[in-house]
Chain A
C-alpha cells in the first residue's frame, strides 16, 4: 500500500494534503499498488468524502487524539503503516507533518526525505528529488530501508481527482500523549497561507516601513487573493512579522506568481522563492539581482507603480 497522511484541523483539509494524496495516487498507479489515506484528530470524519475524491482505496480515520500530539500522531500513522504493509508513506510538508513525520520514521526504522519536489519510479522503487543548500543544488535520493517516506513541498505537486474503492476504516489512537497542543491561536483567519498561496505579494527594504505592508501591499494582496511575503531585510527592520519571511531563514515558497516589490534579490531570498513559476519584480535599481530571475522586470519606483496597479486590477476585474 501507498499510505498518505492527510493534515486537517477541525474539518479543514489542507490543500497540501490533497496534493500529497494526488501524488500518492500517481505512485500507486505506477507501482500497481493501492492507495490508503490516514486522517487523525477532531474533524477527521468530516473530510473523508473530500479525501475519496482524490482516489483513496481506503481511508483510515480516527477522531482521536482530539488535540495535536507529535508522539500520538506518529503512533497512529505508524500503526496503520505496519498493519497494512505500507511501502511508501507520504506527508504534505505542513508545519504539523514536518514536526511529527520524523517520529514515524524512527518508529518504522524507515528513511524519510523532507521537502521533496519530485518523485520517480526506478526499477520498481521510489527515488525522490529534494532541493538542498537552499535550492542551490538538487539531490536525487534513494532509500536503503524497506519503507520509503517523504514530506512533499506544498504547491509543487499537481492536484488530480480520480477514483478509488473508498472504503472507510475507523480506528482510534489511544494512550497518553508525551507532548500535546494545549492552545491554538489562528491570528490571521481568512488570510491566505504563504506556503499554499498561488500568488504572493512580497516587499523588501525598498518598502521603507511597516505601514506600506499593512496598507497598500495588503490591499493589493486582497485584490489578487494573494498572501503577503517579505524579505529578511524588511523582517529584520521590524516592519512585518517573521512568519511572512521568504528565504533561507524564512519560508520556502513556490507560488504560481511571486511579485517582488523593492526586493534586491539577495541569494538567501532567491533560495526561498526560486521555484516560483513566474516572478514579477519592481525595483528602482536597474542592477538589482532580482532582475536576473524575473519573468517580468519593471525598473520603477514601487510607490508609484503599486497604486496604479491597484487601480488597473480593479478595472480588470
Chain B
C-alpha cells in the first residue's frame, strides 16, 4: 500500500508565547520545535499500517528549513521517504493555501491511504485534512480514534457529543488522527541513524504546478490582523478552612456569585 502522512512542525506545547514587534506573529527565538502531537498518532498509524499490510510510507511537510528535523523524526519512527515543501512563497499560508499545495502532492503521487493529525497545535485550525480531501475529491474520516482496513474499504470510529460514530469510506481516503488512535513509538537510536540516509525530496510551488500567488500568504483566504495576549485572569478569594466551612463557602459562591443554584 502506498501510504502518505502529512505533518507540521509546531512550537513545543509548553512554550511561553511572546508577541513579535509586527503585532501579528510570535517571537520564534528560543522556541523548541516539535512534531505536532496529533501528527505523531498519524505517523504511528501510517507506519503500523505499512508493517501490517506492506508498502511504503512517505512523510510530507510544508515549512521553512527547520521543518526538516520534523521529517527526520518521522523517518526515524519508520517512514521511508520524505517530501519537504520549502520555498519562501509558501510562507504566511493559512489552512486553505496550505491545503492547496498539499493536495497537489497527493495528485502527483496517488497514495492509497493518507493520514493527517486532526489539528496542528498552535493555530489550531482543525481544517487541513478535510480541505485536502475536498480539493482532491476523496472521502475522509475525521478525528479518528480507531481504524479498520478491510480491502479497499476503511471504517473509523470518531468521538461525537455523548458517544461515538463509525464512518465508512473507500480508498483512496484521508484519515485525520485523534489522540486514542494508538500509542506513538519513540524513535530508537537505530531508527535515528537510518533516518539520516533516507531520501528527502524538496519541492517548490513550480514543482507542484502552482504559481507563487496561489500559495502562502498570497493564496490565503484569511489573514491575521493582530495577535494579542489574553487579558490576565485575576485570582479571587483563597481560603484555608475546615471542610464543612469550605463546602458552605462553595455553595454560597454558587448561589450568590455564579447564580447557578
Using CB atoms and an 8 Å cutoff, list the residues of chain A in contact with chain B.
Answer: 14, 68, 70-71, 74, 94-96, 98-103, 105-107, 109-115, 127, 131-145, 177-189, 191, 193, 195-196, 198-199, 224, 242-243, 248-250, 256-257, 267-268, 274, 277-280, 282, 286, 291-301, 304-305, 308-309, 311-313, 316-317
User: Judging by beta carbons under 8 Å apart, are A112 and B246 in contact?
Assistant: no
> What is the bound-complex CA distance between A19 and B130, given in angstroms?
24
Binds A, one of B51-59, B63-71, B203-211, B229-237: B229-237
Distance in angstroms from A267 CB to nearest chain B CB is 6
User: Judging by beta carbons under 8 Å apart, are A316 and B261 in contact?
Assistant: yes
User: Judging by beta carbons under 8 Å apart, are B124 and A115 in contact?
Assistant: yes
Q: Is the interface of A mostly helix, strand, loop or mixed?
A: mixed
Query: A74-B134, A112-B127 given as contacts; is B164 within 8 A of A137 (CB)?
Result: no
Interface residue from B96, B141, B238, B257 paired with A294 (Cβ < 8 Å): B238
List 13 A-B pairs, Cβ < 8 Å.
Answer: A102-B126, A106-B135, A112-B95, A114-B126, A114-B127, A132-B124, A180-B167, A242-B179, A292-B235, A295-B253, A295-B257, A298-B240, A301-B243
Knowing that A113-B222, A280-B254, A292-B235 touch, tell me 15 more A-B residue pairs with CB under 8 angstroms: A70-B130, A101-B127, A103-B130, A132-B122, A134-B121, A179-B139, A182-B167, A186-B162, A187-B162, A242-B145, A248-B13, A256-B260, A282-B246, A298-B249, A300-B241
Distance in angstroms from B13 CB to nearest chain A CB is 6
User: Judging by beta carbons under 8 Å apart, are A305 and B160 in contact?
Assistant: no
User: Judging by beta carbons under 8 Å apart, are B160 and A96 in contact?
Assistant: yes
> What is the bound-complex CA distance between A298 and B222, given in angstroms?
44
Interface residue from B170, B229, B249, B258 paired with A278 (Cβ < 8 Å): B258
> What is the bound-complex CA distance between A83 and B15, given in angstroms?
45
Cβ-closest chain B residue relative to A298: B246
Interface residue from B15, B96, B168, B261 paired with A180 (Cβ < 8 Å): B168
User: Judging by beta carbons under 8 Å apart, are A107 and B224 in contact?
Assistant: no
Cβ-closest chain A residue relative to B230: A138
Closest 6 CB pairs of A and B: A111-B221, A178-B139, A179-B139, A179-B169, A308-B247, A106-B134
User: Judging by beta carbons under 8 Å apart, are A286 and B240 in contact?
Assistant: yes
| Chain B residues positioned under 8 Å from A291 (CB to CB) | 235, 238
Query: A99-B130, A106-B131, A224-B260 given as contacts; is B238 within 8 A of A137 (CB)?
Result: no
| Chain B residues positioned under 8 Å from A114 (CB to CB) | 124-127
Query: A139-B226, A296-B236, A309-B251 given as contacts; is B130 within 8 A of A100 (CB)?
Result: yes
Query: A132-B227, A193-B161 given as contacts; is B179 within 8 A of A249 (CB)?
Result: yes
User: Judging by beta carbons under 8 Å apart, are B261 and A309 in contact?
Assistant: no
User: Judging by beta carbons under 8 Å apart, are A316 and B251 in contact?
Assistant: yes
> What is the bound-complex CA distance between A68 and B126, given in angstroms?
19
User: Judging by beta carbons under 8 Å apart, are A138 and B94 in contact?
Assistant: no
> What is the bound-complex CA distance between A189 and B127, given in angstroms?
29
Q: Please provide the chain B residues from 77 to 133 with a CB less than 8 Å away from any CB of chain A in the complex.
A: 94-96, 99, 121-131, 133
Q: Is B30 an interface residue (CB 8 A)?
A: no
User: Judging by beta carbons under 8 Å apart, are B134 and A95 in contact?
Assistant: no
Distance in angstroms from A19 CB to nearest chain B CB is 14
Interface residue from B130, B237, B240, B241 paired with A102 (Cβ < 8 Å): B130
Specify which of A106, A184, A304 lies most central, judged by the most chain B CB atoms within 10 Å of its CB: A106
> What is the bound-complex CA distance between A30 and B169, given in angstroms?
42
> What is the bound-complex CA distance between A250 and B164, given in angstroms?
16
> What is the bound-complex CA distance between A70 and B158, given in angstroms?
13
Q: Is B180 an interface residue (CB 8 A)?
A: yes
Cβ-closest chain A residue relative to B253: A296
Cβ-closest chain A residue relative to B94: A111
Query: A106-B135, A199-B260, A248-B121 given as contacts; is B221 within 8 A of A308 (CB)?
Result: no
Interface residue from A94, A95, A139, A277 paired with B224 (Cβ < 8 Å): A139
User: Judging by beta carbons under 8 Å apart, are A191 and B162 in contact?
Assistant: yes
Q: Is B196 an interface residue (CB 8 A)?
A: no
User: Judging by beta carbons under 8 Å apart, are A280 and B253 in contact?
Assistant: yes
> What is the bound-complex CA distance between A312 and B160, given in angstroms?
34
Cβ-closest chain B residue relative to A96: B160
Q: Is B7 an interface residue (CB 8 A)?
A: no
Cβ-closest chain B residue relative to A245: B179
User: Judging by beta carbons under 8 Å apart, are B258 and A140 in contact?
Assistant: no
Query: A114-B125, A133-B11, A144-B223 given as contacts; is B229 within 8 A of A181 (CB)?
Result: no
Interface residue from B16, B125, B230 paired with A131 (Cβ < 8 Å): B230
Query: A143-B221, A224-B260, A278-B257 given as contacts; is B165 within 8 A of A305 (CB)?
Result: no
Distance in angstroms from A269 CB to nearest chain B CB is 11
User: Judging by beta carbons under 8 Å apart, are B237 and A297 in contact?
Assistant: yes
Distance in angstroms from B120 CB to nearest chain A CB is 11
Distance in angstroms from A293 CB to nearest chain B CB is 4
